[in-house]
Structure 1
């Protein structure tokens, strides 16, 4: 079982042995998913590795009072993705599979990458269980009853979390998506 987010962040700040592994276990999937959608499956591993190497080397710049470690890692992910895209030759081929650029289903499939990254960053700030419920519904496309069963919460609670979190994201993102 993964340590709580604040425990991982505290270990990260102290530079404890195992903190990088715990952070990777907790947020590696998010970082890799963002990288995969932005730069394609072929480059996602490299970008993800760059994110965690950069984050670990720059861990002294992380300030837990400014936000959660996951949001900080998403910010680094955004910069590494931008670096990767700038470094690509101008005439590089666009990945042939459009599914590598966008979520497979859900209302976010029409968003551009910058907006999608901003949403993920906000979700990291919001935290669980709301973050998980929104991702299960709008990225993985699960139904409300499927989510309720998976997260072991009543269906009404899942629906309430989802409605409030989407409204909160719309307000924070400054638009009606």
Structure 2
């Protein structure tokens, strides 16, 4: 029986490695798509904002979710949408970006607190995963993937004020 136990651990480690590599390859591919199609990526992220906002409004109207979770989620979607103003130029040191990062953690805290105090049967764990995926991870993940998009965008009239994009080889 010890051999089967050992084989189970080896198989688990191999599966974790494969899943990690697949996730890394998927992130790399998504980042390449965002760099190639920045305008379309901005539109997709805008639609993701609207979809998540509609989900939060649906949670307010149809479900017994805490209002603090849903209202904070709507506020965070509003703050996230402020980053679309200069997309794909996301300034990491801007107050909007820093506030967005803080709101990701605050939203997770409120969601964990809600799901730890409100009892759901074990069969409804899928609901928790769906809430975290759609409401908490989708939009920040889209911005995370698009962080490298401004590195390869040619300078245009849309560059934010105060940033200079000098050519790679000076004349």
TM over 0.5: no
Question: Which structure has the greater CA radius of gyration?
Answer: 2
TM-score (ref. length: structure 2): 0.29
Instruction: Pick the structure with more helix per residue.
Output: 2
